């Protein structure tokens, strides 16, 4: 089949695909950061690109106006390459990638850790022990492994299993090293295992990473596993966003050929990117990291472990597993010490995952008599109500409900998004003032801007408590306070602008 080459601007990402491939698929293959909230169904209108060069065919869609067409602007998922092409991803359709923010570089333990100390003592997934070297001729008897096990038992670590790779290294290290060995012991579901042997004493440098795998944002913290101290935290956008913004769209994408593989690869690469950045900035080697613990909603957990999420959205709406075994991190593609372990926090059901159970562990809600409410408002939102005797939880789509799927001109909180709205008095007239992220010209409105807009419009009587407009969006009408407002739809005022004036 004939192939064509497509270059995506502004990052100049190049890809060769079969003739007739849609531009969204090509962009994903090229690694070009293109928003696709609906996963390529042609519904959301977010994947806007400008054709700079080349022949193509495009399907008619109400999401593209005649003015857009005049400017050669089309939806990537509805446009098909018929020759080599140059394509520009428009600013509002560019997906932010990379490490987006460093949150903390901590020198002391976090307060909440101190608060729960005693209830949850520090029990890391891996522990390091220094074992002084004994030559085979010394008092201990038995095999080299037996001697190590005996020495570890004397330190209170038993019983133990090990693996073939460790055994292959053992005899050589035992005889070569003059000072001793550092033994890393991992815990797999209450079973202790020697996972790593290193020459000398490296027990003072022992690190792990805790990852919050969000549908939109992934947050990772580097911890010293000897003290529990959080050294540094960084954030990145989940690269899976190229395949759809909400979990259901991603589950649907996973059903496509190689879809599960692509989604798994995308989230693993996001995590690897964060671990690499954390380690680099904290002066820690990747080989010094032996444990990673991830929590996420059930869809994220399945995709991270490359487990088919098909039944999460189909009757009987059951996950493949609520609890996941501890696995070799390398098996899941996580790049730390090749002998390191990965634990994924278990959940309760298809839409009550490890993110909310991890949240519950970190707050005292389930240990108090008083009834409390825990809200986790992410792309997927959960809330738990209860106390030490009972807990009830529910979940619903949250982020995309504001920023993608249902709101015209909704967008994520990135540069150009309206994040704040207020009505100001100009002489005898009132105007809506918007504040955008980075002070850029408005491209759309993000969740916090939308909530504030509802609050401001509600307080001024422009909308009622149900969110319905008290005034028509196109006509001047009397408001309860006797003022008149003219609300202009975004298209009439230029793309992405919210305008209002009163007279
Ligand atoms: S319209 Fe193209 S991804 Fe939604």
pLDDT for position 5: 96
The predicted structure's pLDDT at residue 484:
35
Distance 244 CA to ligand 1 centre (A): 9
Q: What global pTM score does this model have?
A: 0.77
Q: From ligand 1's centre to the CA of 300, what distance in Å?
A: 22
The response to whether residue 38 sits with its C-beta less than 6 Å from ligand 1 reads yes
Residue 252 Cα to ligand 1 midpoint, Å, equals: 14
Token digits of residue 176: 């070569």
Q: Which atom of ligand 1 is nearest to the CA of 63?
A: 1
Supply the pLDDT for residue 479. 38
Residue with token string 């295992």: 193
Q: Same topology for domains 3-93 and 125-199, yes or no?
A: yes
pLDDT at 94: 84
pLDDT tens per residue, range 262-276: 999 999 999 999 999
φ/ψ of 165, rounded to 5, equals -60, -40
Please name the helix (run of DSSP H) or strand (run of DSSP E) that holds residue 494, with its range, or none. none
Both tokens of 222, joined, read 């580097």
Residue 117 pLDDT:
53
Question: Residue 118's pLDDT is what?
Answer: 55
Q: Which two tokens stand for residue 151?
A: 């020495």
DSSP assignment string, 427-449 = TTEEEEEEEEGGGPPP-EE-HHH
Index of the ligand 1 atom closest to the CA of residue 36: 3
350: left (phi over 0), alpha (psi -120 to 50) or beta: alpha
Instruction: Please state at what angle helix 164-176 crosses helix 144-154, rounded to 10 degrees.
Output: 90
What's residue 398's pLDDT?
Answer: 76
DSSP notation for 171-192? HHHHHH-SSEEEEEEEEETTEE
Architecture of the domain whose range is 96-124+206-397: 2-Layer Sandwich (3.30)
The residue ranges of every structural domain in the chain are 3-93, 96-124+206-397, 125-199, 417-502
The CB of 75 under 6 Å from ligand 1? The reply is: yes
Q: Would you say the CB of residue 43 lies under 6 angstroms from ligand 1?
A: yes
Element housing 171 (H / E): helix 164-176
What count of other Cβ atoms lies within 10 Å of the Cβ of residue 61?
14
**Ranges in the chain, pLDDT < 50:** 104-109, 111-112, 472-503
Quote the DSSP letter at residue 325. Answer: -
Q: Tell me which of 28, 68, 77 to substitute to probe ligand 1's pocket, judged by most ligand atoms within 8 Å of the beta carbon.
A: 77
Hey, what CATH class is 125-199 in? alpha beta
Q: Say what the pLDDT of residue 496 is.
A: 33
The CATH homologous superfamily for domain 3-93 is: Beta-grasp domain (3.10.20.30)
For residue 98, the model assigns a pLDDT of 59
């Amino acid at each position: 089949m004939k192939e064509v080459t497509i270059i995506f601007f502004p990052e100049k990402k190049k890809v060769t695909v079969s003739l007739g491939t849609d531009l969204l698929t090509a962009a994903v293959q090229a690694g070009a950061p293109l928003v696709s909230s609906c996963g390529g169904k042609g519904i959301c209108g977010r994947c806007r690109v400008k054709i700079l060069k080349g022949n193509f065919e495009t399907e008619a869609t109400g999401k593209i106006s005649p003015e857009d067409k005049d400017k050669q602007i089309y939806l990537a998922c509805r446009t098909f390459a018929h020759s080599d092409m140059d394509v520009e991803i428009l600013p509002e359709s560019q997906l932010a990638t990379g490490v987006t923010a460093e949150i903390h570089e901590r020198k002391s333990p976090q307060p909440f850790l101190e608060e729960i100390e005693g209830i949850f003592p520090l029990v890391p997934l891996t522990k390091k022990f220094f074992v002084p070297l004994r030559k085979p001729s010394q008092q201990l008897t038995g095999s080299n492994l037996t001697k190590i096990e005996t020495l570890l038992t004397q330190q209170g670590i038993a019983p133990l299993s090990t693996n073939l790779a460790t055994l292959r290294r053992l005899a050589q290290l035992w005889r070569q090293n003059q000072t001793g060995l550092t033994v890393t012991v991992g815990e797999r579901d209450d079973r202790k295992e020697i996972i790593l042997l290193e020459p000398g004493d490296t027990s003072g440098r022992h690190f792990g990473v805790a990852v919050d795998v969000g549908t939109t944002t992934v947050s990772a913290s580097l911890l010293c596993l000897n003290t529990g101290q959080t050294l540094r935290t960084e954030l990145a956008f989940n690269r899976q966003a190229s395949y759809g913004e909400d979990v259901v769209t991603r589950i649907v994408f996973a059903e496509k050929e190689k879809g599960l593989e692509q989604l798994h690869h995308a989230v693993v690469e996001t995590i690897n990117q964060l671990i690499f950045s954390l380690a680099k900035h904290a002066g820690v080697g990747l080989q010094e990291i032996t444990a990673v613990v991830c929590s996420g909603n059930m869809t994220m957990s399945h995709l991270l472990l490359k487990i088919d999420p098909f039944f999460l959205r189909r009757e009987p709406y059951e996950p493949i597993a609520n609890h996941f075994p501890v696995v070799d991190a390398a098996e899941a593609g996580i790049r730390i010490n090749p002998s390191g372990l990965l634990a994924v926090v278990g959940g309760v059901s298809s839409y009550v995952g490890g993110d909310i159970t991890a949240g519950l562990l970190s707050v005292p809600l389930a240990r108090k008599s008083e009834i409390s409410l825990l809200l986790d408002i992410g792309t997927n939102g959960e809330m738990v109500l209860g106390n030490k005797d009972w807990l009830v939880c529910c979940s619903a789509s949250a982020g995309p409900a504001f920023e993608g799927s249902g709101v015209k001109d909704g967008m994520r909180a990135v540069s150009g998004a309206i994040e704040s709205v207020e009505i100001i008095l100009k002489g005898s007239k009132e105007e809506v003032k918007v504040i955008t992220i980075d002070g850029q010209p408005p491209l759309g409105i993000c969740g916090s801007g939308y909530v504030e807009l509802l609050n401001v419009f509600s307080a001024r009587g422009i909308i009622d408590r149900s969110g319905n407009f008290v005034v028509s969006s196109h006509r001047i009408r009397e408001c309860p306070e006797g003022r008149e407002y003219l609300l202009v739809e975004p298209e009439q005022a230029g793309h992405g602008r919210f305008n209002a004036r009163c007279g």
